[in-house]
Structure 1
Amino acid sequence: MNITDYLLKSQVDDDSLVLITQKEEHSYRDLKNATANLVDTFQSLGIHAGDRIGILGRNSLFWVASYLATMKIGAIAVPFATKIPVNEITDQIEQTGCKALCVEKLLYKRYATKLPESLLVIEEGRLNKSHHVLAGTALEFDKNQDAAWMLTSGTTGKPRIVRITHLNIQANTDSIIQYLELNRHERMMTILPFYYCFGTSLLHTHLKVGASLILGDSIAFPEKILDLMEEKACTGFAGVPTTFQIYLRNSTFPKRKLPTLKKIQQAGGKLSTVLIKELIQTRPQTKIYIMYGQTEATARLSYLPPELLKTKLNSIGRGIPNVELKVVNKDGNEVKPEEIGEIIARGKNISPGYHNNPQANAEKFTDNALKTGDMAKVDDEGFIYIVDRKDDFIKSYGNRVSSQKIEACILEQDEVMAVAVIGVPDPLRGEAIRAFVVLRPNAAITKQEIISHCMKQLARYMIPRDVIFTSDLPTNQHGKVIKSKLKE
């Protein structure tokens, strides 16, 4: 199979728009031509199947064409995050063994002097112009051959290199299209970067159905994004928890009508119950999909149907089509309702493992299954409820405490915009609970008022010892809070 051919084989007319920005519009014909040009460029540079090609840039026609052209020739696409230090980029290029790098013109100026001399650099705008037709060369590869290497979000340390095969992408894309009921009329507002697996899944699914993606600049400018959503009549919007914390509590999103918005997708971490309720209240006519996944699953593992959002509040749902999820105890046996265990996943979307990391492979992948590291409960209908990350539990007064439960309690206070809870060493408690809180502009709430609220809602051993006000929380390139940095 060839995953590029699969993604571009929709029934949509080539003149239909695929990528839309504030200033530019690109058709499927433009994308196919740009991809063909890059295929020709790669081949002229002696790049072959199995070689690794890095991609460094913001969401754009160049990024998408680089990604598709790489997989078209059987090379391995390696997307890099854009806002990390120069030394980290060079380390990751070395770690992944990239032979070439497709780089956005603006970013090339930032990194040029630090890139390895042996690296072949394809700068945006400097392509070997080709008149070849993309579909003219039928290249077939083993479905289990690596198509992309995705670097994990790395909230705890150095990112791992997740191997994603042609089959992984096809399986996950087909499943997501099925449960979201996507079609060529979708116009997805895309603020998540394509180098992040959630963002990549938006790209895969909308290309496959021949839909359009509207490219927003950044999550950091919500009013600009909301204006663009209205102007371009977007039908879809997707984000991680920090996205909705900002849009619900520090933007005009709750007041905007957005009449064309039909679907909202949320993944990339657990959204607190109070914010889910606010989202339902804000967008009563919009289908809201609460989803769960991991990079090692090519993005998606489960979803909660919108019609069950109120009756199964706080659940991540059940496995997506063709994915089996189980919650098991330490002996590997399925837990009974309300018992806590680890989520284990099986399906054709599960990565074959990490590149050059046998120890992590042994810990994470066993018996063709993915051990997610997420601890959860299951109700009597099979719906799953995440309790916390295995590594994020706090041991307070001998009790195992979910940091997410405390965070959800603090977020019930309207003046709080974001919160992260960690455990810190304490001679009496074992671990004391510390809450880092970001307040809304002009908020007047005090630390003691936050603690008092927790005392009314939570058990004594779950009450924060400390509340620290901060202007922001440390996050990775995907908007996930890096709790390890809070512990430093």
Structure 2
Amino acid sequence: MSVYDERPWLGLYGDLPADLAPEHADGLSLFRAGLAADPDGAAVVYFDGTLSRRELDEQSDALASALLDRGFARGDRLAVYLQNVPQFVVCLVATWKAGGVMVSINPMSRARELTYLLADSGASVLVCLESLYDEVARDVLAAGDAGSAVSLVLTTSELEHQTRHDGRLFAGASRRRHEGTTDLATLIDEHRGRIPPPVRLGPDDVAFLTYTSGTTGVPKGAMNSHGNVAFTATTYRDWARFGPGGSMLGIAPLFHITGLIGHVAVSFAAPMPLVLAYRFETDVVLDAMLEHRPTYTIGAITALNALLGSPRFTRDHVASFVAVYSGGAAISPTAERRFRDATGLQVHNAYGLTETTSPMTLTPFGSPSPVDPTSGALSVGVPIWSTVVRIVGEDGEDLPLGEVGEIVADGPQVVPGYWRKPEETAANLPGGALRTGDVGFMDADGWIFIVDRKKDMINASGYKVWPREVEDVLAEHPDVRESAVVGVPDERRGETVKAFVSLVPGSTTTPDALVAHCKERMAAYKYPRQVVVIDELPKTVTGKILRRELRG
């Protein structure tokens, strides 16, 4: 059920912003509005290089014209296989200007994954780093199956758009031109001054395909529409106060929905500069914070914790920040408190999925996230405007407030479906509402609390154990840096609770001491019977801990 109409901040956030009122609000219109507002302002800052909005407009015009000259047509797909570099943003805008759909590919993808993503999306153009072409893409395209639709390969370098190459990231890097490919910068220069024919993009047109992680089967391409993009980017701008006059630090990978919306699209909507540093390397990002003094960021709590954990971190690194948001995983109250104590800043919680085009709930700027007194969970926010969040039981019917069930979302940010997968669309998006697979509850004031992933529930002797609750208790131990809890087979209990823990540097805590810590604070069926200390927990590139890899 939803108590949207009873929220006390409805008067502040109840009306949609004026720039979403037009029937054809879309991502390209957001970019053009920002261009008109501040044409000579920085669009992207990359180490010592800056790309202005005017330059981004000119380069994307040239690239769109080149694509159209080579037969790229409305609805065609352009796949981007890049790190966080300015060329990513140029390609996104150019694809939209050509009426196409961008396919964002994780730069950590190897041959098997790239083969699947190119084949499934049917991309006719691939833009990739020269290094990734050399290591992965060349062999994939030569094999023929996945690359059969790819007619144009554009390569580029991480060394472009900067002159002071960071030795920690780019030691030994050099340009590598490859036969059968076209250099992206050369192609843009050849078409500079060309303007593509005007294109009208509607809210139902697909802006990009973002692929789910495939934890429950093969990855599915979520069709994030232009209406989805405009809605969520504007929501971040207004609810999170990501406004003009500041800048966005891009710590999330741009291929991920958080990076696409919370970094790129919101930088168009504000407008404001997007600060990029190639990929997340703790000390490199800390240096970028001091050099460019960004005011906003959004990323996984694991990334924020990594920054705090660096011996080089000081409060001066975050002195310029106005707002910090985190999404992708529930945050424990202990982690939120540690961040606040170290920085003086609140971590504002957000919650969304690939299929909700980033946020479906947000903690309004300046509003402390409540902690549920029973479960100890920190809220992930309230449903954003025009969004209905329901908590349903196994039968799909609404549950009373406070009861735990699956979280279902319906609103302008929910994708219309999965690319060429009607059966999966019908199963996961019945009637247009998303069954998230996350389990949680709503309190009487509309705050949402996530308990865990539905599939991660542990059944120990018939009792339900949610890993997040155990992880929150482990987080209270001063020597625990991160933890992940899974269920493992047990002859007597059916399943039992096993915890994997990484410790703060210099800690001498033992597994037995951590078991005792939990035993003192939890019901007997909940505390972990096994604790394994490891150096680092396995994570996705976005910082989400991979429990499935720990189950063995």
Instruction: Tell me which interval the TM-score lies in, with the shorter structure as reference length.
Output: over 0.9
1:71 touches 1:148 (CA, 8 Å); kept in 2?
no
Letter of the structure 1 residue corresponding to residue 104 of structure 2 = P
Query: Which digits, 9 at most, give the CA deviation of each residue in 1:116-143, with x for residues without a partner?
Result: 4642212223414223365x63211342
3-state SS, counterpart of residue 457 of structure 1: coil
Does residue 266 of structure 2 align to residue 205 of structure 1? yes
Residue pairs, 1:135-150, within 5 angstroms: 137-150=197-210
Does residue 354 of structure 2 align to residue 298 of structure 1? no
Does residue 226 of structure 2 align to residue 166 of structure 1? yes
Give the TM-score taking structure 1 as reference length: 0.94
CA distance in 2, matches of 1:470, 1:288: 27
Is the alpha carbon distance of 1:109 and 1:325 closer, same or farther for their aligned partners in structure 2, counting shifts above 3 Å?
A: same
C-alpha displacement at 1:5, in angstroms? Answer: 3.3
Which of the numbers 50, 65, 71 marks the counterpart of 1:46? 71
Which of the numbers 153, 157, 160 marks the counterpart of 1:121? 153
CA distance in 2, matches of 1:473, 1:72: 41
Residue in 2 aligned with 1:9?
Answer: 33
C-alpha displacement at 1:310, in angstroms? Answer: 5.5
Residue in 2 aligned with 1:80?
Answer: 105
Residue in 1 aligned with 2:191?
Answer: 130
Residue in 1 aligned with 2:163?
Answer: none
Query: Which digits, 9 at most, give the CA deviation of each residue in 1:65-111, with x for residues without a partner?
Result: 11111122221110100012123212211121111111223322222
Structure 1 alignment gaps of length 5 or more: none
Is the alpha carbon distance of 1:155 and 1:477 closer, same or farther for their aligned partners in structure 2, counting shifts above 3 Å?
A: farther
Residue in 1 aligned with 2:245?
Answer: 185
Residue pairs, 1:33-432, within 5 angstroms: 33-110=58-135, 111-115=137-141, 116=144, 118=148, 119=150, 120-124=152-156, 125-128=185-188, 129-132=190-193, 134=195, 137-201=197-261, 202-219=263-280, 221-253=281-313, 255-256=315-316, 258-284=318-344, 286-309=345-368, 311-312=370-371, 314-432=378-496
3-state SS, counterpart of residue 6 of structure 1: helix
Range with greater deviation from structure 2 (441-450 or 307-316): 307-316
C-alpha displacement at 1:333, in angstroms? Answer: 3.2
Is the alpha carbon distance of 1:457 and 1:211 closer, same or farther for their aligned partners in structure 2, counting shifts above 3 Å?
A: same
CA distance in 2, matches of 1:347, 1:200: 19
2:408 touches 2:436 (CA, 8 Å); kept in 1?
yes
CA distance in 2, matches of 1:137, 1:160: 32
Letter of the structure 1 residue corresponding to residue 134 of structure 2 = K
1:407 touches 1:419 (CA, 8 Å); kept in 2?
yes
Which of the numbers 449, 459, 471 marks the counterpart of 2:523? 459
CA distance in 2, matches of 1:474, 1:229: 26
C-alpha displacement at 1:287, in angstroms? Answer: 4.9
Does residue 94 of structure 2 align to residue 30 of structure 1? no
Give the TM-score taking structure 2 as reference length: 0.84
C-alpha displacement at 1:265, in angstroms? Answer: 0.9
C-alpha displacement at 1:338, in angstroms? Answer: 2.2
Letter of the structure 2 residue corresponding to residue 383 of structure 1 = W
3-state SS, counterpart of residue 304 of structure 2: helix
CA distance in 2, matches of 1:9, 1:306: 24
C-alpha displacement at 1:263, in angstroms? Answer: 0.7
C-alpha displacement at 1:443, in angstroms? Answer: 1.5
CA distance in 2, matches of 1:8, 1:113: 38
Number of aligned residue pairs: 485
Range with greater deviation from structure 2 (46-55 or 113-122): 113-122
Identical amino acids, percent of aligned pairs? 26
1:235 touches 1:263 (CA, 8 Å); kept in 2?
yes
CA distance in 1, matches of 2:388, 2:255: 26
C-alpha displacement at 1:449, in angstroms? Answer: 0.6
Letter of the structure 1 residue corresponding to residue 187 of structure 2 = L
Is the alpha carbon distance of 1:158 and 1:414 closer, same or farther for their aligned partners in structure 2, counting shifts above 3 Å?
A: farther
C-alpha displacement at 1:3, in angstroms? Answer: 3.0
C-alpha displacement at 1:407, in angstroms? Answer: 0.8
CA distance in 2, matches of 1:443, 1:468: 14
Is the alpha carbon distance of 1:251 and 1:389 closer, same or farther for their aligned partners in structure 2, counting shifts above 3 Å?
A: farther
Letter of the structure 2 residue corresponding to residue 166 of structure 1 = H
3-state SS, counterpart of residue 444 of structure 1: coil
Letter of the structure 1 residue corresponding to residue 354 of structure 2 = T
C-alpha displacement at 1:374, in angstroms? Answer: 1.1
C-alpha displacement at 1:157, in angstroms? Answer: 4.8
CA distance in 1, matches of 2:214, 2:336: 26
CA distance in 2, matches of 1:52, 1:216: 27
C-alpha displacement at 1:35, in angstroms? Answer: 0.5
CA distance in 2, matches of 1:76, 1:229: 33
Query: Which digits, 9 at most, give the CA deviation of each residue in 1:148-189, with x for residues without a partner?
Result: 110113345532111111111112122222212232212111
Structure 2 alignment gaps of length 5 or more: 1-23, 157-184, 373-377
3-state SS, counterpart of residue 355 of structure 1: coil
CA distance in 2, matches of 1:243, 1:8: 32
CA distance in 2, matches of 1:19, 1:106: 22
1:241 touches 1:271 (CA, 8 Å); kept in 2?
yes
1:74 touches 1:147 (CA, 8 Å); kept in 2?
no
C-alpha displacement at 1:38, in angstroms? Answer: 1.0
C-alpha displacement at 1:240, in angstroms? Answer: 0.5
3-state SS, counterpart of residue 328 of structure 2: coil
2:296 touches 2:323 (CA, 8 Å); kept in 1?
yes
Is the alpha carbon distance of 1:173 and 1:257 closer, same or farther for their aligned partners in structure 2, counting shifts above 3 Å?
A: closer
1:155 touches 1:480 (CA, 8 Å); kept in 2?
no
Query: Which digits, 9 at most, give the CA deviation of each residue in 1:427-456, with x for residues without a partner?
Result: 111111111111222211100010000001
1:58 touches 1:82 (CA, 8 Å); kept in 2?
yes
